[in-house]
Homo-oligomer: A and B are copies of this chain.
Amino acid sequence: MSEDVRWLADEERVAWLALADLITRLPAVLDAQMLRDSNITLFDYFAVSALSMSPGRMLRMSELARFTSSSLSRLSNVVKRLEQRGFVRREPDPANGRYTVAILTDAGWDLVVAAAPGHVAAVRKYVIDGLSGDQITALRSVASHVTERIQASGDC
């Protein structure tokens, strides 16, 4: 409870408030689009999309958890629901029974193919198409710096 807090300077505070607004609203609108148009959450989409781009359209649960920056517990619940809906199936890894492999079904592939255009359009609409080339470069740089600092902190 020390008094020597380094408060944010004006430019810093304005930038942070803008980012705080972004991180509360951007996920909400992208999630709403996905839910409305494809009846899956944005997180579901990230998961099946990651599977669709993997060799054999499959990943170990623990790998998929890293790709989606989620806990194994959350992912397990999500994949269970996706499996109940026929988009994914799970099998023990033949190479090592401790692992579970999540495999995208044909229906899951069709889901990704159907959902991708709307998702990309939303990303363009809310983010990309409003930015100059320089701003896109700056965005990549800033976002990477932030995620690297989160990574480095170990507070994953």
Which residues from chain A sit less than 8 Å from chain B, CB to CB?
Answer: 1-2, 5-8, 11-12, 14-16, 18-29, 32-33, 46, 68-70, 114, 116-117, 120-121, 123-128, 130-131, 133, 135-150, 153, 155-156
Q: Are B114 and A1 in contact (CB under 8 A)?
A: yes
Q: Are B11 and A137 in contact (CB under 8 A)?
A: yes
Say how far A77's CB is from chain B's closest CB, in angstroms: 16
Number of this chain's copies in the complex:
2
Q: Are B136 and A15 in contact (CB under 8 A)?
A: yes
A125 contacts across to B, CB distance below 8 A: 149, 153
A156 contacts across to B, CB distance below 8 A: 25, 29
Complex Cα–Cα for A29 and B151 (A): 10
Q: Are A150 and B124 in contact (CB under 8 A)?
A: no
Q: Are B138 and A142 in contact (CB under 8 A)?
A: yes
Q: Are A22 and B138 in contact (CB under 8 A)?
A: no
